[in-house]
Every structure is written in structure tokens, then in C-alpha cells.
Amino acid sequence: MDVTIPILILAIPLFMFVFLGLTGMKMSHKVAGILGTCGMGTVLVLAYYTAFQYFFSGADIFINGAGERLQYLVFDQTWLQFTENLVIKLGFLLDPISAMMLVVITTISFMVHLYSMGYMRDHHGVYEHGFQRFYAFLSLFSFSMLGLVVAPNIFQMYIFWELVGASSYLLIGFYYTKPSAVSASKKAFIVTRFADLGFLIGILTLSWYTGTFNFTELTSIPVEGMAGVSQVNIGTAEYVRGIFANSAAPTFMGASVLTWALVLIFMGGMGKSAMMPLHIWLPDAMEGPTPVSALIHAATMVVAGVYLVARLFPLYLMEEAALDIIVVVGAVTALYAAMVACTQLDIKRVLAFSTISQIAFMMVSLGVARPEFHHGLGYMASMFHLFTHAMFKALLFLCAGALIHAIGSNNYTEMHGLRKHMPITHVAFLIGCLAIAGIIPFAGFFSKDEILTACFGHSIFWYIWMSAVAGLTAFYMFRLYYLIFWWKEHKTPEGHHAPHDQPWTMTLPLVILSVVSCVAGFVPFGNLVTWNGHPMFESVDFFTNLKALDWSVASISLLVALAAIGLATVMYRKENALPSKMRNALPALWTWCFHRFYFDELYMFITHRIIFGCISRPLAWFDRHVIDGTMDAFATITNKASEVIKPLQSGQIQMYVWYYLVGALLLGGITALCVI
Amino acid sequence: MDYSQFLAMKQEIGLLAVFLLVFLYDTFMPRGAQKGLPVFTTVLMLLVTLGGFCSYCMAPGGEVSAFAGMYVTSPVIAAIKNILNIGVVIVLIQSIKWTNSEAMTMRRGEFYELLLVTLFGMYLMISGRHFLLFIIGLESASLPLAAMVALDKNRYESHEAAVKYILTAVFSSAIFMMGLSFVYGLTGSMYFNDIYFALTSQRSLLLVMAVAFVIGGIGFKLSLVPFHLWTADVYQGAPTSVTSYLSVISKGATAFAFLVVLNQVFGALYSQVWEVMLYALIILTITVGNLFAIRQRNMKRFLAFSSISQAGYIMLGVIAGNAMGLAAMMYYILVYIFSNLAAFGVIGAIENATGKVSMDDYKGLYKTNPRLSVAMMLAMFSLAGIPPFAGFFSKFFIFTGAINQGSVAIYVLVLIALINTIVSLYYYLLVVKAMFISDDECVVPNFRSACSERLGLWISVGGILALGIVSYFYNSLLELTGVSEMTAYFIG
């Protein structure tokens, strides 16, 4: 395969970032926006082409005779060679999940680029301050995210992992004059960095034992006779486990070292994917512009954690304990976030918590996946849900952006009854809600159903738990829907025009994503993305997914969703007393949910009281008095010494030659004394 | 006589051709066309550089010797000359504005001719394997420089610097030749190879003194402490373009020549004699250079002392004595060329526009000339060795190369060098602080520097960034030196 296109996929966004960053302020807002969007459009085409080639060309570097999909290393360039073994490379790995992610990232990113052309201006069409900077950062993010998903080694992934973190920081804090945005961006950065500490230790542990950073060497075997082609193989993972088991110190504090490494790597994923208890940054990250929330904090960056676990999935299979931890963390997070989402008042916060909950679904799905059960159905379901969720959640966020743009507030108690004024947004939002609630035939139904089936195959307990969360999801989404689009509308104040639908740049992405949310469920994912590339179905047609459904699970989940929607309809279709009655019936639960179980307060207490007070203050004293004192002493000595030797440089040539001669004689003389 | 031997001297012959063309242009072109001389020379030099790369790519590999072994070239040596050429091209680009100024009208030709002659001398120093050839190279690389230092005829400091330079140069040549005469007396040959084998079993006071004198003679050009005292006065007094040439090209070339002499002539004495001497010289050079640099307020003097301590770091590559050390040294000098020329480019631009060279005049420069300030900042960061700029990696590799030599003493030496980088960080950041943090009203007004100066700065800054980020350069140097026989021939 030609390397030009893969290189361009990475180079164009990077170039756009540098170009817009350096020269953006010199061009008009519109030109910058169009340039950025066109750049992303080109990447979109190239990425689609690459993914199409990978999935459908049938070339023998992508798929073998048995129909199993292979991993293909398009290029792998040495970047830093420290020693013979310790090499850091930059490359481009094509395999089912990276090809899928290329599609997801470029689609959503392009939609957001387009959408922002309309969103990032006020009602009079005046562009926001820093519009060009916004596009530069969007390009930086796209570059980083693309680099992350195609990374063939864990170190490159880590580099880009930090880069997405940095670009997320820049975009959350885009309105840097707003103190809440600034503190939100800091919070996001610090929390994810803290998680990345674990990630880094995990990476180092893993590569210390195995002596490699490359994913293909950790999870696959090379295919004979074809350079750069390899196939996922459980045997390699077993070999890696063997390395750990036969090492000098196979266990550490009661768990095997491999488990530790995997759990620490998962910790990095927890930070990026906002799993409990590291989820606190994501709701605050909603301070960023809404298109950013759609791109970074719903569709792409936050699923990086899921992607990471999926990348190393064969290794996770080696350690049941690590998978169990993933399931517990995911399940608890899913329930927690769904409960909190039922009580929030800010439309973006509800969507943020919903995102957390949905990502937790994907995590659980990975955690329950086993090769014995339907060829690792959970893995496929997780990736499927990642795909569909990216589409419908981006749709919901972009709708929310349209609403916020029209109303000028995030608080949906100020919205009500908008269905007449904004019909397109209304329909799009409804499609998004139906998709996330899991109503047939929308995208979310299929992917969520696969997840529940996978849970069912693993343990009945987690199946019931996750089904309940799915019900809650339908409930809070429709609560949101009714509160925004139904109820009696607020009077428009004098002098303002009524809210209305948006310009075409904002409408087009909504329409496209709505269509995708309707049909994405029919994509035969089982034949495209599986943990070892092995296809699930003999032959595929449009209704493959429908035929493959486990109807015992599907009908129950459908019933649960419909019941939840019914409940939401009864409670929120019109203004009535039911919600407040319910709140009064369970006051404690409501308060805890509303305050997000006081997590932020807990962290505040820990950082301010314990870390700042008990650790930082003594350290500061030590730093100021002992360390600074020592350094000052060094500086004083250096300064004095330079004062002492000053006369040497007298400016007199006789002296110079004299010192020269003495120097040469001493040099020879002293050496001679030592040597002879 | 076999004239095909001249083919080995492609690079020298190319340079000589440039010299002749420049000379003819200077002598015979009408007065009106004389302003074209700087660009003419620069373009020719650029062609020679490109030609050097081509011939080096197409070279059959391995070393070629000519003239009964007096002259040697190899891919590594060709690469070193190319590195010097790159630096010369940048210096030439940066000096266009100055040589086209009113005061230089009558002396324009001299600057270029003298510069090319010194470069030719440096080539001979690097390629010579016989002391006669070496001395011719050394002298033709030194004496014309004195005339170049004096080019600023109307400035008192320029004269003073030239006198100091020529006196010290002559003195150091005398010392050097005295050392050589000792060596000749002991071995009866002037060929590097013969001396090398003749010295394997000899140890005497005379020999040690000879080595010390040879080191002193070459150390003068490298401004190793205590042979450095001329440096600051000359750098300050000379025209800025000459100073940058002195500090970068002359120093780089001499460092390689030094490496050749120590390894190919005195290689057998490594562990007994000159390793210890170099330890002492390196520690002295880095430390004293740093201590003096702290106190300087004149930017050119400041860079003089900074370049003294940089020479100490370069010597770490000499002491490493392995392929990685050689590669690291080549890389270090390449990076040093870009970083130092970026700094001198800014200084020269400001001096040409306003005549200011004091660090105090740089206070608040960022407000009036942001681009120049950023270029200067990058140069300082690179010289100080702050990642991800090239200077960090060059220091890192040269330290690694030295550590690979393996003795305990070298760990101590590298540790001392590391501590000195902290001191150097302080004074490099002083410049940055003056430019960016100082609240004072800047005395340098906003001005638009000449096209040539900007081009030179862009190249230098581009080099600082590219060399730091792109691994290709260092890897290819390592690959080049990693071929054992080439290194063997170069190091001995």
C-alpha cells in the first residue's frame, strides 16, 4: 500500500494547525474557517478511502484466505534510537479498529468544522474573537487524535495521548477570559495527567519486561512472507504472560505484575474516558464551545480509554482480574452517571453525564468479552457502540449547540416548547434520543443490545445491572427531550426575535448525523471489527444484524426502554406535580444525585486540606530554606570565583603570552611528573 | 606523476576555483558591478557545498590518499568539510549587508578572498597527514584571519584586536613548531603514520613536553584555557561577520584537526599522556569560560566566552575516541554552527542598524523587535541545551559518547561538564530575560533588517529546530561514522 495517503492524513491537519496558528490572524475569519474545513474535508476523503481499501479491497495484506482481517504496518520510521533495543518509532498501523476510528474521527471532526462556521458567531453574523485560533486548535486536535489511533506502538500512542490532552486543554479554555472555563481546562488537564502517571508507569512496566513497545509484538504474530503484516494471536499474549510469570519477580503486592501493568494502563484510560473516580473533569469540560464538546468530549477523545483497552485486549484476556476491575469500574460508573444525569439542569451537563455512562457501557462490554462466547462478542459490541455512540452523541451535542445558540443559555428550564420554532433541531434531537434510548431500528438499539447480550453471556448479575442503566438512560434522555421541546414556551422578551433554526452550515451536519444515527445500526460490524479479525457471519446483507439478534435479550431491553420512555412521558410531557412529588419522596437520593454525590467537594477537601495543607506547606518551607539556600550558596561561590579570576583578562598582550607559555609548560610538566 | 591523484582533492579544487573566480571578479569587473561580488561569492560557495554533498553521495566509500600519503580524504572527512561549508554559506549570507556598506567598498574583495584562503587552509588541516602540509594549512588558516580582524580600518579596537591576534598566533605557531621539532627529533619523520608507530614504545620528558606544545599550538585556535586569552579582545574588536566566522568555522575545523592529530599522531599515548592533559584542559576551559561569561555586558565578548566553554564540550567528543564520540562531535559542531550563527546574526543585524552591542541595550527588545528576540531566544536555548532544541540533543549525544569511553574519570568529567551547563543556563537566560522580561524602554527602535540578514537568520533558526526534531541528521552521521574502518582511519 502506498504511504502517501496515510502520511497526508496526518500531515494535513498538522499543517493546518501550523498554518492557521501562524498566519490565521492575518486572514479574515471566513477564509480561516473555510481553509480549516476544506483541509479536514480532504482528510475525510483520504481516511474514507483508506478505510474502504482496508475493509473492502480484499487485498492479501488486509485479509487472509480464511476471511480474517490482518494488521498492516503502513510505515514505521525510527524517530529516536537510544540504544540498540530502546527505539522509539513513529508509524501507521492499519487494523480493524484503527480503520474504524479513522472514519469516526474524520466524520465527526469534519461535521464540527462545518458546524462551527455557523456556531462561532453571534446573531448578527459577527465571528467570535479568536475564531482562527479555534480552527487551528481543532486541526491540532484532529492531528493528535488521528496519530493516537494509528499508533503502532504504545509510546507513540502515549505521545499523542498527551497531545490530545493538551489540545483538549486549549479548547476547553478557549474562552480564556471566563474564569470558569479556565478552571475547567486546568481541572481536565490535571485530572487526566494524574491518570496518565499510572499509564506511564504501566507502559514502562510492560515494556521493561517484554522489551518492546510495539503492539504487534505484544498481541500478534507476523504473517509469513509478507512484510509489515501480522495477525492477532492469543499465543503471543500467552507468551508475554509467560515472560512475566518466569521473571524474577512475577508478583507484586498479591497480584501478578502483568495485572499491575494492565490495571495501571487502564488507569490512563479511566482518566481520559472519565471513569469513576476520575470522571470529575468531564462535566466541567462543557465550559468549552459546544462543537468542541461534540468532537472531543463525546465522540473521540473520551473514547481513547476504551480504544486503549481494545488495543491491548489480548493481553487483558490473560488476566481475569484486570478484566473484572474494568467491569466493576464501568458498571458503577454507568449507574452513577445515569442517576446524576436525571437531576441536572444544564443541557450540556446532562449530555456529559450521559456520555460518561455510555462510555462505561463500552468498558463493561470489553470487560465481559471472552473469546469463548460468540467469538468475543463483547469486544465487537464495544467497538460497535463506540461507533454508533460517536454519531448520535455528536448529533445530540450539535443539537444542544443549536439550542444554546438560539436561546443563549445552557439551562434548559429556560427553553421549553421549542418544537414549533426549531423543527429541524427537534427532529434531529428526537432521533438522537431514540438512538441512545435503544429503540429499534435506530443505531443505539443494535449496539446496546449486543452489549447486553455479551453481559448476559458473562453473568446474569451484570446483565440486570446494565439493563437497568439502559432504562435510566432512556428515562433521562426523554426527560430532557420533553423539557426542551414540550411544555409551555416562555414568552419572548420584547425586542428579541423568537428562537429559530440555524444557518445551513449548522443544519447540514445535523441532517447528516441524523441519517447516520438511523442507519448505522445495520452496519454488519461483526464482519468488520472483531478482536482477532475473525468474521462472525458467513455472509452479510442489510439485515444481518437484525437476524443475528438474540431476541430474548432484545425484547426485554426494548420493553425496558419503552417503559422508561413511558414513565418520562407521564412525568414530563406536560408541567405537573409528579416530579416534585417523587423528589420529595426520596429527598436524600435526589440531593446526592443533584450534587453528583459530592465528588467535587471530596476532591476539594483532599487537595486543599490534605495535599496543600499537610504536604505542600512543609515542602515549600524545605524548598525555600534548605534547597534555595544551597543553591544560593552555589551561586555566591560561582560569582565570587568569577570575581577572583577577573584580573587574568587584563587586556595586555604580554600577559596573555606569558600565561600561554606558563600554561603550556605546566601542562607538560605536571603530566610528565605524573607519567614518568 | 599520476595526475589522477588530484581527483581526490575535489573539494579543495572546487574551493580554489571559487577563490580564483572571486579574485578575477574583484580585479576585472567594472566598479558598478562590484556590488554583486557578495552574492556572486555566496552563490559559488553554495554550489561548492552542494557539489560536496553530491560527490560525497557518489563517493565509492572508503578513504583515498594522494601524494604519497600526505593527503587523505574519506566520506567522513568530506562530510566534515561539508559541515564547514554550510556554516560558511550562512556566514556569507549574513555578511552581505556589511560588505556592501559604504565603509567596505574598497575592501570588499579582500574579505572574501581572505576568507576563502583560510577555509582552504582548514581543509588542508583536516586532510593533511604530513606535518608540512598540516602547518601550511594551519598558517594559512591563521594569518589571513589577522587581516580580516583588521578589516574595520577606522575602528581603533579592530587594530588592537588584529595586533593581539597576530602576536598570539605567531607565538603559538612558534610553540607548536618547537613541539614538532621535538617530535621530529625523536622519530625522524613528519608523516603521521610513521610518528604513530615510532612513538608506541617511547616515553620521555621531551615527548610529554612535545605533546603539550602541540596541544598548546592547536589549543590556541580552539581557545582552550589557558591559551584563550586573546579570544575576548579579538571577538569584540573584529567586525561581527569575522567574529562569527572565527567563532564557528575556524573553531569547528580546528576541533577536527585536533582530533586527527591527537589520534593519528599521538594515538599510542592516549591513556598515558594526553588523556590527562585533556581532562585538565576541558575542565578548565568549560569552567573558566563560564565564569567569565557571567560578567560580560558586551554581547560579542559574552559570546566569546560562551564559545570558549562550548569548545570544552566539543573536546568531550575528542576524548571519547569512539565512533559515537566522532558522530556526536560532528553533530555538535553542526548544531553549534546554527545556534551561534543565529546569535551572531541577531547581534550583527542590530549592530548594523543601530551600532548597539551591549546587553543593556537589549532590554525590552521583544517589544520593539519581536522576531529578532525570538530568534535570539532560540539561539540561547539551543546553546544552553534546552530540549527540544538541537543544542539539547547535541549535548546529550556528546555526553553519551564520552560516557561510552567507560572509565571512572570520564564520569567525573561529564559530571563537571553537566554542572557547568547549569551555570551556562544562567547567563544564556540573562539575555533572554533582558529581552523579554525587562520593563525598561528599549533603546533599539523597531527596524527592518536587510533581506540577507533575515535569510541567514531563517536558515539558522530552521537548523536549530530541524536538527533537534528530525532524527535523520544524527542518525546519518552515526551511520557514516559507524562503518568501522572509516572511523578507524579517522581516529586511528
Q: Are A16 and A39 in contact (CB under 8 A)?
A: yes
Which residues of chain A make contact with B227, given a CB cutoff of 8 A? Answer: 660, 663-664
Residue A23 pLDDT: 85
Q: Write down the domain spans for chain B.
A: 3-489
Residue A279: all three cell numbers together: 470522571
Q: Are A294 and A258 in contact (CB under 8 A)?
A: no
Q: Are B118 and B250 in contact (CB under 8 A)?
A: yes
CB of A633 within 8 Å of a chain B CB? The answer is no
Which value does ipTM take for this structure?
0.89
Residue B246 pLDDT: 93
Q: What DSSP character marks residue A127?
A: B
CB of A653 within 8 Å of a chain B CB? The answer is yes
Residue B164 pLDDT: 92
Please say if the pLDDT value at position B59 is more than 60: no
User: ∠ at Cα A457 (A456, A459), nearest 5°?
Assistant: 65
Please identify which residue in the block is written with the cell numbers 445515569. Answer: A338
CB of A673 within 8 Å of a chain B CB? The answer is no
Residue of chain A minimizing CA distance to B468: A80
Residue B394 pLDDT: 92
Residue B265: all three cell numbers together: 599522531
Q: Tell which residue, A120, A137, A140, has the closest CA to residue A129.
A: A120
pLDDT digits (tens, 9 = 90+) for B320-340: 877 888 889 999 999 999 999
Alpha carbons A529 and A384: distance in angstroms, whole number: 8
CB of A662 within 8 Å of a chain B CB? The answer is yes
Please say if the pLDDT value at position B167 is more than 70: yes
Q: Kindly report the nearest CA distance between residue B208 and chain A, in angstroms.
A: 6
Residue of chain B minimizing CA distance to A669: B209
**Which of A:61-90 have CB within 8 Å of B?**
78-81
pLDDT digits (tens, 9 = 90+) for B195-230: 998 988 878 889 999 999 999 999 999 999 889 999
Helix (H) or strand (E) holding A269: helix A257-272
Q: What DSSP character marks residue A612?
A: I
Cβ contacts of residue A164 below 8 Å, gap of 6+? A141, A144, A145, A148, A272, A296, A301, A304
Minimum-distance CB partner of A663 among B209, B226, B276: B226
- For the entire predicted model, the pTM comes to 0.70
Contact B273 A671 (CB under 8 A): yes
Q: Kindly report the nearest CA distance between residue A359 and chain B, in angstroms.
A: 36
Q: What DSSP character marks residue A492?
A: P
Contact B233 A660 (CB under 8 A): no
Residue of chain B minimizing CA distance to A660: B227
Core vs surface per residue B174-191: b (16+ CB within 10 A) or e: ebbbbbbebbeebbebbb
Furthest CA-CA distance within chain A: 105
E-strand stretches of A184-299? 220-222, 229-232, 251-252, 255-256
Report helix, strand or coil for A94: strand
Which residues of chain B make contact with A670, given a CB cutoff of 8 A? Answer: 280
Alpha carbons A122 and A131: distance in angstroms, whole number: 12
Amino acid of residue B425: L
Residue A73 pLDDT: 87
Q: What DSSP character marks residue A226?
A: -
A329 exposure class (CB count in 10 Å sphere: 0-12, 13-18, 19+)? buried
A225 exposure class (CB count in 10 Å sphere: 0-12, 13-18, 19+)? exposed
Mutate which of A660, A665, A666, A673 to disrupt the B interface (most B C-beta within 10 Å)? Answer: A660
Minimum-distance CB partner of B227 among A663, A668, A671: A663
Minimum-distance CB partner of B171 among A648, A660, A671: A660
Instruction: Report helix angle B275-295 to A628-644, nearest 10.
Output: 100
Q: Tell which residue, A62, A74, A98, has the closest CA to residue A1.
A: A74
Residue A140 pLDDT: 92
pLDDT digits (tens, 9 = 90+) for B172-200: 999 999 999 999 999 999 999 899 989 88
Mutate which of B199, B208, B425 to disrupt the A interface (most A C-beta within 10 Å)? Answer: B208
Q: Kindly report the nearest CA distance between residue B357 and chain A, in angstroms.
A: 19
3-state secondary structure labels for all residues of chain B:
CCHHHHHHHHHHHHHHHHHHHHHHHHHHCCHHHHHHHHHHHHHHHHHHHHHHHHHHHHCCCCCEEECCCCEEECHHHHHHHHHHHHHHHHHHHHHHHHHCCHHHHHHHHHHHHHHHHHHHHHHHHHHECEHHHHHHHHHHHHHHHHHHHCCCCCCHHHHHHHHHHHHHHHHHHHHHHHHHHHHHHHHCCCEHHHHHHHCCCCCCHHHHHHHHHHHHHHHHHHCCCCCCCHHHHHHHHCCHHHHHHHHHHHHHHHHHHHHHHHHHHCHHHHHHHHHHHHHHHHHHHHHHHHHHHHHCCEHHHHHHHHHHHHHHHHHHHHHHCCHHHHHHHHHHHHHHHHHHHHHHHHHHHHHHHHCCCEHHHHCCHHHHCHHHHHHHHHHHHHHHCCCCCHHHHHHHHHHHHHHHHCCHHHHHHHHHHHHHHHHHHHHHHHHHHHHHCCCCCCCCCCCCCCHHHHHHHHHHHHHHHHHHHCCHHHHHHHHHHHCHHHHHHHHC
> Cα torsion for A625, A627, A633, A638, to the nearest 10°?
-150
- Other beta carbons within 10 angstroms of residue A574's beta carbon come to 12
Beta strands B71-73; A87-94: pairing state = unpaired
pLDDT digits (tens, 9 = 90+) for A444-455: 888 888 888 888
Q: What DSSP character marks residue A153?
A: B
pLDDT-derived band at B81, boundaries 50, 70, 90: very high
E-strand stretches of A119-248? 220-222, 229-232
Q: Tell which residue, B316, B317, B327, has the closest CA to residue B482.
A: B327
Residue of chain B minimizing CA distance to A675: B272
Alpha carbons A482 and A469: distance in angstroms, whole number: 20
Residue A551 pLDDT: 81
Q: Dihedrals φ, ψ of A58, to 5°?
A: 70, 15
Report helix, strand or coil for A124: coil
Alpha carbons A607 and B472: distance in angstroms, whole number: 45
Q: Kindly report the nearest CA distance between residue B273 and chain A, in angstroms.
A: 7
Q: What DSSP character marks residue A415?
A: T
Minimum-distance CB partner of A642 among B230, B281, B291: B291
Please say if the pLDDT value at position B261 is more than 70: yes
pLDDT-derived band at B284, boundaries 50, 70, 90: very high
C-alpha Rg value of chain B to the nearest Å:
21
Which residues of chain B make contact with A86, given a CB cutoff of 8 A? Answer: none
Residue of chain B minimizing CA distance to A651: B233
Q: Are A215 and A154 in contact (CB under 8 A)?
A: yes
Which residues of chain A make contact with B162, given a CB cutoff of 8 A? Answer: none
Q: Are A509 and A503 in contact (CB under 8 A)?
A: no
- Other beta carbons within 10 angstroms of residue A59's beta carbon come to 12
Q: Say how many CA atoms lie within 13 Å of A626 toward its Cβ.
A: 6
Residue B374: all three cell numbers together: 525570538
A493 exposure class (CB count in 10 Å sphere: 0-12, 13-18, 19+)? exposed
Residue A624: all three cell numbers together: 525555600
Cβ contacts of residue A325 below 8 Å, gap of 6+? A263, A266, A367
Stronger pLDDT, A418 or B9, i.e. the higher one: B9
Q: Is the dihedral of CA A399, A402, A406, A412 positive or negative?
A: positive
Alpha carbons B374 and B461: distance in angstroms, whole number: 10
Cα of first residue to Cα of last residue in chain A, in angstroms, is 67
Q: Which stretches of chain A score pLDDT less than 70?
A: 82-83, 490-501
Q: What DSSP character marks residue A176?
A: T
Helix spans in A486-627 (H) = 504-519, 544-548, 551-572, 578-585, 587-594, 599-604, 617-622
CB of A660 within 8 Å of a chain B CB? The answer is yes
Contact A659 B215 (CB under 8 A): no
Q: Dihedrals φ, ψ of B65, to 5°?
A: -115, 155
How many residue pairs from chains A and B have C-beta atoms closer than 8 A?
98
Q: Tell which residue, A50, A116, A200, A99, has the closest CA to residue A506.
A: A116
Residue of chain A minimizing CA distance to B470: A79
pLDDT digits (tens, 9 = 90+) for B91-123: 999 999 999 888 888 888 999 999 999 999 999
Amino acid of residue B343: A
Alpha carbons B64 and B452: distance in angstroms, whole number: 38
Residue A493 pLDDT: 59
Minimum-distance CB partner of A667 among B171, B212, B475: B212
Q: Dihedrals φ, ψ of A90, to 5°?
A: -120, 135
Alpha carbons A612 and A618: distance in angstroms, whole number: 9
